[in-house]
Structure 1
C-alpha cells in the first residue's frame, strides 16, 4: 500500500474508530452497577490476607 493511502485511512477511519472506542470505554465505566465493582477493586490493596 502507498504511504499516502494509509495516511488517508488513518486520518479518517482511524480517528472515527478511536473516538468510538473512547466513547464505549466511558459508557462501560459508567454503566449501572459499576460503582460496587469499582469500590471492591479499590479495596483489594488494603485487605489483609
Structure 2
C-alpha cells in the first residue's frame, strides 16, 4: 500500500505541477492578449461608475 501511495504521489506532484504551469501560462496569455485589453479596461472602471 505504501509503495502504491508513493508512486501515485510522485505522479501527481510531477504532472500536477506541469498541468498548473501550463494552465497559468494560458491564463496569463489570455490576460495579456492585446485583443482583450478593452474588455479588461472596462472591467477595471466598474467601481468608479456613478450609475
Q: Compute the TM-score of the two structures, normalised by the length of structure 2.
A: 0.78
Q: Which runs of 5+ in 2 are unaligned?
A: none
Aligned residue pairs: how many?
Answer: 49
Moved over 4 A (4+): none
Higher-Rg member (1/2) = 2
Q: Compute the TM-score of the two structures, normalised by the length of structure 1.
A: 0.80
* 1:5 positional shift: 2.1
* Structure 1 partner of 2:19: 17
Q: Which runs of 5+ in 1 are unaligned?
A: none
Between structures 1 and 2, the one with greater helix share: 2
C-alpha RMSD of matched pairs (Å): 1.6
More contact order relative to length (CA 8 Å, sep ≥ 6): 2
